[in-house]
Amino acid sequence: MDKILSTFKIKSSNPGTWIGKEALNSDQVITSYSPVDGKKIAEVSITTKDQFDTVIEQASIAQKQWSQMTAPQRGEIVRQYGNLLREYKDDLGYLVSYEMGKSFQEGKGEVQEMIDICDFAVGLSRQLYGLTMHSERPLHRMYEQWHPLGIVGIISAFNFPVAVWSWNTALAWVCGNVCIWKPSEKTPITALACQELFSRVLEANNLPQGISCVITGDKEVGQWLTSNNNVNLISATGSTAMGRAVGADVAKRFGKTILELGGNNALIVSSKANLKSAIMATVFGAVGTCGQRCTSTRRLLVHEGIYNEFISALKKAYAGLKIGSPLDESNHIGPLIDEQAVQQFNDTIAKIKETKHEVIVEGKSITIDGNSSHCYVHPGVYAVEKDNPLTKQEVFAPILYVIKYKTLDEAIHIQNDVPQGLSSALFTTDLQESEYFLSHKGSDCGIANINIGTSGAEIGGAFGGEKETGGGRESGSDAWKGYMRRQTNTINYSNELPLAQGIKFDI
């Protein structure tokens, strides 16, 4: 690990405020501990208010130069960053795995998402299209164009400590914005590594370092970002409670937001499903990243006609799970992020036992021999009634609720009858069922899948959800429009000035 940290110029004690490669230090610190083995990784100083004001000032200066470059020129900078990520994919993926606790394969996969969104953004830099419209007035032309917003603030969560930041920055950069990143205080070290790599690209191209800035700290530092009038857009990923606070702060000043909040995702297994595929999707969706994805499968709805067969196969699959260090690629499941998450896991299981339920797989805390970390758990699976209030809540842990259903309409109702609306899935080989699920009468989520699970998303599609998930969209499709301001233009190329409603002036 020391070798990897030195690769990104990370020491035992690090500044937490960065304007490109310029470091600003302070006295108060965040200490990052690995959930893998409980060991200290490094310290990062907390951003002060004066440092934050300096970041805003330097970002504003940098944005003036950055926005004057053409979009393809900005795309070239993002291309260079993507190439640097390719070079350091394994090192950064290992650091992600060690600081966050996800498997090394997932850590490398997260860096691959960064590379992919850079590639997407490079192509996008030549496709920031507007529309041309016919005017109702003769010898007039109408069109719309898109301009940079200015400064984009990004608040990211611990579970995807680098990928979601890149979804935002890659698009925001090619759109002509500069970015200020507040990473989760649980995973600050990976942020420093990403910043170090991008500062190299800026330096090599003689560009202002304020194009990319990092600030670190707790809720107070985040509030400086959300309440600052110079920050034109806040893109925030986290809990619904956090999103409510962020949304309110930004709305007070009529700023823009992209909110990616809670998920409580259901996977429906039809009587006409390919059961082998459905089992694989269920297990991966429920235990991948130790249940700490916003798209993790939290609810499993199984048709009564195949219920016993499916549950038997599910038990067998869970019995084969290997839990341990995520750096060992033979293991399926690593730790939860910290002991607080383990306590929430245990508290939720205790609440389940107070309700009507059946234990399918017992969830519990476990110890890994020779490991000082107390963050490992065995995933739990519990059959519950469809109206159990616990199924309405998102718990960021590998707990899966199983509910039996009779008809597809009933399953869709159960799926939609929660406050969140991020991801959903139906396994079926029946065309009518799949089309019905994707119709307006079906899933109310921002993501609806057929014969693939709830977790994971390709960068080519817009990512986000409805209801308490926030309604924001990131990554692919036309999500880039969220990082720009729309302007409608009308050009009169005649010698006349026709006025509305035929009004005339004797001039």
Indicate which CATH number applies to the domain containing 207. Answer: 3.40.605.10
Helix (H), strand (E) at residue 160: none
Rounded distance, CA 296 to CA 454, Å?
6
pLDDT at residue 500 in the model? 77
pLDDT at residue 501 in the model? 77
Contacts of 474 (CB under 8 A, 6+ apart): 164, 167, 168, 171, 235, 258, 260, 462, 463, 464, 482
Q: 158 and 227 share a domain?
A: yes
The letter for the amino acid at 484 is: M
Rounded distance, CA 49 to CA 120, Å?
35
Q: Is residue 32 part of a domain?
A: yes
Q: Is residue 507 part of a domain?
A: no
Contacts of 176 (CB under 8 A, 6+ apart): 63, 66, 67, 69, 71, 74, 147, 148, 484
Q: 396 and 482 share a domain?
A: no
Secondary structure in 3-state letters for 248-270:
HHHHHCCCEEEEECCCCEEEEEC
Q: Is residue 431 part of a domain?
A: yes
Of the candidates 16, 36, 35, 39, the one whose C-alpha atom is nearest the C-alpha of residue 27 is 16
Per-residue pLDDT 10s for the chain (507 aa) are: 999 999 999 999 999 999 999 999 999 999 999 999 999 999 999 999 999 999 999 999 999 999 999 999 999 999 999 999 999 999 999 999 999 999 999 999 999 999 999 999 999 999 999 999 999 999 999 999 999 999 999 999 999 999 999 999 999 999 999 999 999 999 999 999 999 999 999 999 999 999 999 999 999 999 999 999 999 999 999 999 999 999 999 999 999 999 999 999 999 999 999 999 999 999 999 999 999 999 999 999 999 999 999 999 999 999 999 999 999 999 999 999 999 999 999 999 999 999 999 999 999 999 998 888 999 999 999 999 999 999 999 999 999 999 999 999 999 999 999 999 999 999 999 999 999 999 999 999 999 999 999 998 899 999 999 999 999 999 999 999 999 999 999 999 999 888 877 788 877
Q: What is the domain count for the chain?
A: 2
Q: 257 and 274 share a domain?
A: no
Q: What is the CATH number of the domain that holds 414?
A: 3.40.309.10
What is the three-class DSSP state of 217?
coil
pLDDT at residue 467 in the model? 97
Q: Is residue 114 part of a domain?
A: yes
Q: 361 and 427 share a domain?
A: yes
Q: Is residue 495 part of a domain?
A: no
Q: 340 and 254 share a domain?
A: no
Q: 279 and 241 share a domain?
A: no
| Token digits of residue 434 | 């799949």
Residue with tokens 């038990």: 315
Q: Is residue 205 part of a domain?
A: yes
Torsional sign, CA 81, 86, 92, 97:
positive
pLDDT at residue 457 in the model? 84
Quote the Cα angle for 499-505-507, to 5°.
120
Q: 118 and 216 share a domain?
A: yes
Cα-based torsion angle of the residue sequence 87, 192, 341, 370 in order, rounded to the nearest 10 degrees: 70
Q: 143 and 69 share a domain?
A: yes
Q: 475 and 394 share a domain?
A: no
| Token digits of residue 402 | 């199983």
Q: 249 and 328 share a domain?
A: no
The letter for the amino acid at 44 is: V
Q: Is residue 493 part of a domain?
A: no
Residues spanned by the domain of 408 = 265-450
Q: Is residue 92 part of a domain?
A: yes
Rounded distance, CA 432 to CA 441, Å?
13
Report CA Rg, the chain: 25
Of the candidates 296, 274, 301, the one whose C-alpha atom is nearest the C-alpha of residue 284 is 296
Rounded distance, CA 237 to CA 156, Å?
5
Q: 354 and 440 share a domain?
A: yes
Helix axes 104-124, 163-174, angle to 10 degrees: 10
Contacts of 369 (CB under 8 A, 6+ apart): none
| Residues that are catalytic | 260
pLDDT at residue 146 in the model? 98
Q: 152 and 167 share a domain?
A: yes
